């Protein structure tokens, strides 16, 4: 389901930065989609893209194992932009030369624009950009102009204006590239002739019309468990089909403090939805009582959810559709236990499957979902059970729930909520208290801030705030012994070493 037929496809050669590019293009109001490098020219043609971006990769184009696109894609007469490895793919295909620099160029670099083109239209002669490569273009293909260079990269951008083919060695999608958005706008709007119709307002209007046309007079069931995407989907479906929507709120006992009440109140009072509320805490705890590994917890929660929904659907003979809140980023639909609709005997409806989480939040604001719902921390499919090391029971969930509520209060009290990308608590394995008299629970506090599009690290929190958090949790939550603050650099930042050592990302 997409707003307008405009589309940019990004051929994913294996770098995580291609996902960043996908989100960036959408932020510039053009729908974008990642596709496999094995996609055929015929498949690309059937997608009818306005433009193609050849993405980044950790590989070198001159090795046998490196991914390559279908050569026939170059015959489709569609505007193309190669980024980093993608530039080298274009160069190699058209007869230019790529070699190993023997010295990686990684980080902030200044490029100088040597020749004007549509791609650099309106940009200054000198631009700060983000580079991440070990290979580089040694010789541009015949018929291509060299547009820019940097101290370590004599050919930092090329173009064949007549063929609408462009290539750049740097990453315009990264925040460090100062005029990256302007360059991408030039590609999207001047070169690919897009008009910027990918907005959540357009998506909402088109989705409502499509849902109405698909569902007609039939009824839809939607399980809601407090997560943002299921609440936004409920609001969207209710706008389209009103009382034909049956909302099933299943209280599994694994949600955060006050979350069940907040969820049902919003849906019932703001949107006037009819909600079936089921208290299933005991059944979920029963299924989880001997489970210690997170993957097995997911399976236990999923199986119980399936049992409950199957039971309820069997009693509702008028239900014909199951609504899934699966998103574009939910790979292999693993977050949707009913991805095979035969499990319920219902047809499947997936209105949000083309959206990223940030777009779901934006859609929610247009649908008037309250900010306190949209801005809350994401929670895994297993809820608080996924933040408990070892076995899960009601006591341990309650300890974690109260600890996390204190953390949330203190974060907001200190005005840190906008600084932090994530903040949460983890219940560690029980230990003897400091007197050695009884078992108690240690709590681990994690607070993570975003550095840029690809980097996260632990937040530097004032000592006074940490003291209040630790003191309150240890004093106010029964059976908590020690409170730890995790100062380990988040694994997301450790990948930067791998990034800097890869030929092209």
Question: Are residues 261 and 408 both part of a single domain?
Answer: no
Q: What is the CATH number of the domain that holds 155?
A: 3.40.50.880
Question: Are residues 231 and 213 both part of a single domain?
Answer: yes
pLDDT average, residue stretch 377-396: 92
The full DSSP string for 32-59 is EEEE-TT--HHHHHHH--SEEEE---SS
Helices (H), 176-293: 180-185, 200-215, 228-241, 259-265, 281-288
Is residue 39 pLDDT above 90, yes or no?
Answer: yes
Question: Are residues 273 and 254 both part of a single domain?
Answer: yes
Nearest in space to 134 (alpha carbons), one of 54, 61, 82, 55: 61
Token output for 435: 């007197």
- Helix (H/G/I), strand (E/B), else coil: 267: helix
pLDDT average, residue stretch 192-219: 95
The neighbouring-strand residues paired with 252 are: none
The number of folded domains in the chain is 3
Q: Grade residue 220 by pLDDT with cuts at 50, 70 and 90.
A: very high
Question: Are residues 41 and 158 both part of a single domain?
Answer: yes
What is the rounded CA–CA span in Å between residue 176 and residue 131?
9
Structural domain contains residue 501 = no
Catalytic residue among 6, 84, 105, 280: 84
Is residue 492 pLDDT above 50, yes or no?
Answer: no
So what's the pLDDT on residue 152?
Answer: 83
Question: Are residues 185 and 57 both part of a single domain?
Answer: yes
Question: Are residues 96 and 157 both part of a single domain?
Answer: yes
Structural domain contains residue 49 = yes
CB 307: neighbour CB atoms within 10 A?
Answer: 13
pLDDT tens per residue, range 439-457: 889 999 999 987 665 667 8
Question: Are residues 60 and 102 both part of a single domain?
Answer: yes
163-167, 289-293, 377-381 — most confident range: 163-167
Is residue 466 pLDDT above 70, yes or no?
Answer: yes
pLDDT tens per residue, range 119-158: 999 999 999 999 887 788 999 999 999 999 998 889 999 9
62-71, 255-264, 324-333 — most confident range: 255-264
- Helix (H/G/I), strand (E/B), else coil: 275: strand
Q: Grade residue 503 by pLDDT with cuts at 50, 70 and 90.
A: very low
The neighbouring-strand residues paired with 373 are: none
Domain ends where: 316, 342, 374? 374
Question: Are residues 429 and 362 both part of a single domain?
Answer: no
Q: Burial of 324 by CB count in 10 Å (0-12 exposed, 13-18 middle, 19+ buried)? A: buried
Structural domain contains residue 2 = no
Q: pLDDT: is 504 or 27 the higher one?
A: 27
So what's the pLDDT on residue 3?
Answer: 56
So what's the pLDDT on residue 496?
Answer: 32
pLDDT average, residue stretch 50-68: 92
> Tokens 């173009």, residue?
159
Structural domain contains residue 99 = yes
Angle at 480 between CA 262 and CA 414, to 5 degrees: 55
Is residue 287 pLDDT above 50, yes or no?
Answer: yes
pLDDT average, residue stretch 36-58: 96
Domain ends where: 374, 407, 429? 374
Question: Are residues 271 and 353 both part of a single domain?
Answer: yes
Structural domain contains residue 381 = no
Is residue 176 pLDDT above 60, yes or no?
Answer: yes
CB 151: neighbour CB atoms within 10 A?
Answer: 11
Question: Are residues 84 and 204 both part of a single domain?
Answer: no
Question: Are residues 180 and 221 both part of a single domain?
Answer: no
Structural domain contains residue 505 = no
Q: What is the CATH number of the domain that holds 272?
A: 3.40.50.620
Average pLDDT, the chain: 89
Is residue 170 pLDDT above 80, yes or no?
Answer: yes
What is the rounded CA–CA span in Å between residue 223 and residue 310?
11
Catalytic residue among 173, 280, 298, 359: 173
What region does 258 belong to: left with phi over 0, alpha with psi -120 to 50, or beta?
A: left
State percent of the chain over pLDDT 70: 90
What is the rounded CA–CA span in Å between residue 74 and residue 93?
9
So what's the pLDDT on residue 501?
Answer: 33
Nearest in space to 398 (alpha carbons), one of 381, 384, 410: 384
Residue 409's domain comprises 389-496
Q: pLDDT: is 184 or 496 the higher one?
A: 184
Q: pLDDT: is 2 or 137 the higher one?
A: 137
Is residue 71 pLDDT above 90, yes or no?
Answer: yes
pLDDT tens per residue, range 74-119: 999 999 999 999 999 999 999 999 887 666 767 789 999 998 899 9
Q: Grade residue 377 by pLDDT with cuts at 50, 70 and 90.
A: confident
Structural domain contains residue 115 = yes
Is residue 223 pLDDT above 90, yes or no?
Answer: yes
Question: Are residues 403 and 303 both part of a single domain?
Answer: no
What is the rounded CA–CA span in Å between residue 169 and residue 25?
18
Structural domain contains residue 503 = no
Domain ends where: 191, 214, 231? 191
pLDDT tens per residue, range 402-422: 999 999 999 999 999 988 988
Q: What is the CATH number of the domain that holds 398?
A: 3.30.300.10
Q: 185 φ, ψ to 5°?
A: -60, -40
Q: Does the active-site annotation cover 192? A: no
Pairing of strands 97-113, 145-150: antiparallel
CA quadruple 70, 71, 77, 80: dihedral sign = positive
């Amino acid at each position: 389901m997409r707003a307008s037929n405009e589309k940019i496809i990004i051929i994913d050669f294996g770098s995580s930065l291609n996902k960043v590019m996908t989100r960036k293009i959408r932020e510039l109001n053009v729908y974008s989609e990642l596709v496999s490098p094995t996609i055929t020219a015929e498949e690309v043609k059937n997608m009818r893209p306005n433009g193609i971006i050849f993405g980044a990769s950790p590989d070198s184009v001159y090795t046998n194992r490196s991914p390559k696109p279908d050569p026939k894609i170059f015959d489709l007469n569609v505007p193309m932009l190669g980024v980093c490895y993608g530039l080298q793919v274009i160069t190699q295909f058209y007869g230019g030369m790529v070699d190993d620099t023997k010295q990686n160029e990684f980080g902030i670099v200044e490029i100088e624009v040597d020749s004007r083109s549509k791609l650099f239209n309106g940009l200054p002669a000198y631009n700060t950009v983000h580079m991440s490569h070990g290979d580089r273009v040694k010789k541009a293909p015949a018929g291509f102009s060299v547009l820019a260079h940097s101290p370590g990269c004599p050919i930092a951008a090329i173009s064949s204006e007549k063929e609408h083919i462009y290539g750049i060695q740097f990453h315009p999608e990264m925040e460090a590239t100062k005029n990256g958005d302007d360059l991408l706008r030039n590609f999207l709007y001047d070169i690919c002739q897009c008009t910027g119709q990918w907005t959540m307002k357009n998506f909402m209007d088109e989705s409502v019309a499509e849902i109405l046309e698909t569902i007609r007079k039939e009824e839809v069931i939607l399980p809601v468990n407090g997560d943002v995407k299921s609440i936004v989907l409920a609001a969207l479906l209710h706008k389209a089909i009103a009382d034909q929507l049956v909302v099933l709120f299943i209280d599994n006992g694994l949600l955060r403090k006050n979350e069940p009440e907040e969820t049902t109140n919003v849906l019932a009072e703001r949107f006037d939805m009819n909600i079936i509320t089921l208290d299933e805490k005991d059944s979920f705890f029963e299924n989880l009582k001997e489970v210690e590994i997170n993957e097995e917890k997911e399976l236990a929660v999923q199986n119980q959810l399936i049992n409950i929904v199957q039971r309820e659907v069997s009693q509702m003979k008028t239900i014909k559709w199951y609504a899934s809140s699966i998103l574009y980023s939910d790979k292999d639909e693993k977050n949707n236990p009913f991805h095979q609709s035969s499990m319920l005997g219902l047809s499947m409806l997936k209105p949000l499957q083309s959206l990223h989480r940030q777009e779901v939040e934006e859609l929610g604001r247009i649908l008037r979902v309250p900010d306190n719902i949209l801005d809350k921390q994401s929670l895994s499919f297993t809820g608080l059970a996924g933040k408990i090391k070892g076995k899960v029971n009601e006591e341990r969930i309650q300890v974690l729930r109260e600890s996390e509520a204190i953390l949330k209060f203190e974060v907001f009290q200190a005005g840190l909520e906008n600084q932090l990308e994530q903040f949460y608590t983890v219940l560690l394995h029980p230990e003897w208290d400091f007197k050695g008299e009884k078992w108690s629970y240690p709590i681990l506090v994690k607070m993570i801030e975003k550095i840029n599009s690809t980097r996260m690290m632990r937040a530097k929190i004032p000592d006074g705030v940490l003291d209040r958090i630790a003191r309150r949790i240890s004093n106010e939550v029964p059976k908590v012994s020690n409170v730890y603050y995790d100062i380990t650099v988040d694994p997301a930042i450790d990948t930067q070493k791998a990034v800097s050592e890869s030929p092209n990302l």
